[in-house]
Amino acid sequence: MSRRSGLIPSLALLPFLAYLTLFLLIPTVTVIVGAFQEDDRFSTVNIEALSSPAALRTLRNSILLSGSTAVIGAVFGALLSYLVVTAPPTSLFRRVVVSMAGVLAQFGGVTLAFAFIATLGFSGVVTEMLRSTVGLDVFGSGWLFGLPGLILVYTYFQIPLMVIVFLPALEGLKPQWREAALSSGATTRQYWLHVGIPLLRPAFLGATLLLFANAFAAYATAAALVSQGNPILPLLIRAGLTSEVLLGRQNLAFALAFEMILVVAVVMTAYALLVRRTSRWLR
Amino acid sequence: MGWRLMRWALLLLFAVFFVVPLYAMLDFSTRQAGGGRTGEAWAALVQDPQLSSAIITSLLLAALTVLGMLLLLLPTMIWVRLRVPKATRFVEFLCLLPLAIPALVIVVGMRNVYTWVNYLISDSALTLTFVYIVLVLPYAYRAIDSALSGLDVKTLSEAARSLGAGWPTVIARIVVPNIWSGVLSAAFISVALVLGEFTIASLTNYENLQVVINLLGKSAARVSVAASLASLIFATVLLMALSYVGRGRRAQEGSLL
């Protein structure tokens, strides 16, 4: 096929490209351009506002929330993946865990917020049980509706996400490698220390980054759970969108969204690089 | 022996952490004010007009999104494999891009585009379909891609072409029936994602299922907990079905990698 005739079939991709331009690229570019404008003119006031104490505190909270739930989710998710991998591949246990993980990780933040309100809210099932049996007040001053509560509920979808992402890597460890190590005189401990863990490290780190980005961009759980203030970045963006003028700036929502793009893009790029390293031996 | 004990202890811990909130939803949603049980909150799922119209909106959105996603993605992906393999990485990059651009960012930037959509088409909640197609793109792409790579598309299409089939026939009657499991996986995961979507609908003031669940949380907590549990169960059934569809299992696991 000559070069010139290779151009015409490419034209069939135009509808797809036009669609993505309209509904993905234009909104993204709008955010980036808007971040550098105020009153329809070029301005850096909104970008400068990102370093105001309020915006920095929110960013710090968001990083704290995403970082802590990414680490907790990665460690316990990897542990649960290990329990799943060592169960027989056709077992019901495995099917149930994998399907449930898919639902809890991807389905919806609002429903999970309500699950925890029904459990640990003021008249939640566990709260009332502990109140009436041992006289313990786990509701306290309403920690569930602030940052500590967000950490708990985020963990509830971060662990399942880790299972979905990490399970294939764990399944990629071939039993022959273990047999080879053991028959060469290595102990199980040595096998994990010198073979298993070094092989899994990029996948583990990559998955942790993905969990971080996932928590950083999550909106629904926080919107349904937090009733007072805007402790994290996504909620501050909401405030910027709905109240027109936030901290005296018209375009602050754009600047905050731009900040979110930057963080997520950096994290996801690192993730993609790590995944490429893993996929060399996986499959 | 020690490890086996530890294994059971760990499994028990995970089970408690994950099952207690789900059980609490069931318990909470069936409680009666003076003690005892009632199914009132569950009956409200079909009786409450606001909630049932939101359920219908979400189901329609799910159906339209699946339809639009397939119309957009299937011909493009098959065409790339058949005629423009050079564009493979580019199309893959575009399809996975929504993973790196959060829904929240899209909703902040989409006002311009939606002003035109609302002006030219309509301002009904169903116009959310356009942006939902973008949201489900990475997951749908993964599912269809894994089905396509298990197929020798080139040989199949050359055989069909040499027997006189045109390109539309090749795509609709030769390739698609062979990647049915991937198409089904893509459809299931899209339905689950659309039924769970909250961010964009709530920030554009449209009432879909999750938005109404959140609204009811303030006035009728038991009803919103019942609706939450019902939608979780529905999504679980959907994804369980997905794990039984041919290669669906692999497609779903790889959906985020």
Which pLDDT score, from 0 to 100, does residue A250 have?
Answer: 66
Mean pLDDT of chain A: 87
Q: How far off is chain B from A189, nearest CA to CA, in Å?
A: 13
Q: What percent of chain A has pLDDT over 90?
A: 43
Q: Domains (ranges, CATH) in chain A?
A: 13-106+158-279 (1.10.3720.10)
- pLDDT category at A263 given cuts 50, 70, 90 is very high
Region A40-63: mean pLDDT is 90
- 8 Å CB contact of B256 and A164: yes
Tens digit of pLDDT for each residue in A94-152?
888 888 888 898 877 899 999 999 999 888 899 988 988 888 888 888 899 999 999 99
* CA gap A99, A107 in Å, rounded: 11
Which pLDDT score, from 0 to 100, does residue A1 have?
Answer: 44
Tens digit of pLDDT for each residue in B9-61?
999 999 999 999 999 999 999 988 777 788 888 998 888 899 999 999 999 99
Answer yes or no: is pLDDT of A258 > 90: yes
Angle between helices A53-85 and A197-217 (to 10 degrees): 140
Q: Nearest CA to A239 among B226, B41, B203?
A: B203
A62 contact partners, CB below 8 Å, separation of at least 6: A216, A232, A233, A234
B75 close contact with A: CB closer than 8 A: yes
- 8 Å CB contact of A31 and B28: no
Q: With beta carbons under 8 A apart, name residues in chain A contacting B199.
A: 219-220, 223
Q: Which residues of A106-121 are buried (b: 16+ CB within 10 A; e: fewer)?
A: bbbbbbbbbbbbbbbb
Region A187-191: mean pLDDT is 86
Answer yes or no: is pLDDT of B249 > 70: no
Region A227-231: mean pLDDT is 84
Answer yes or no: is pLDDT of B247 > 50: no
Q: With beta carbons under 8 A apart, name residues in chain B contacting A80.
A: 14
- 8 Å CB contact of A268 and B100: yes
Question: Where, residue-wise, is CATH 1.10.3720.10 in chain B?
Answer: 49-256
This model of the complex carries an ipTM of 0.87
Of B68 and B83, the structure prediction assigns the larger pLDDT to B68
Q: Which of A102, A109, A126 sits opposite B24 (nearest CB)?
A: A126
Q: Nearest CA to A253 among A38, A65, A18, A24?
A: A38
- pLDDT category at B144 given cuts 50, 70, 90 is very high
Which pLDDT score, from 0 to 100, does residue A21 have?
Answer: 94
- 8 Å CB contact of A118 and B84: no
- pLDDT category at B174 given cuts 50, 70, 90 is confident
Tens digit of pLDDT for each residue in A19-49?
999 999 999 999 999 999 888 888 888 888 8
Tens digit of pLDDT for each residue in A196-222?
888 888 889 999 999 999 999 999 999
B255 close contact with A: CB closer than 8 A: yes
Q: What is the DSSP letter of A41?
A: E
Of B175 and B255, the structure prediction assigns the larger pLDDT to B175
Across the A:B interface, residue pairs with CB atoms under 8 Å apart total 239
Token pair 């005296």 is found at A248
Q: What percent of chain B has pLDDT over 70?
A: 95
**Inter-residue contact B193 to B139 (CB < 8 Å):** yes
The CATH code of domain B49-256 reads 1.10.3720.10
Tens digit of pLDDT for each residue in B104-125?
999 999 988 898 988 888 888 9
DSSP helix/strand/coil, A251: coil
Scanning every residue of chain B, which has its alpha carbon at the shortest distance from the alpha carbon of A87? B7
Q: With beta carbons under 8 A apart, name residues in chain A contacting B252.
A: 98, 102, 164
Predicted TM-score (pTM) of the model is: 0.89
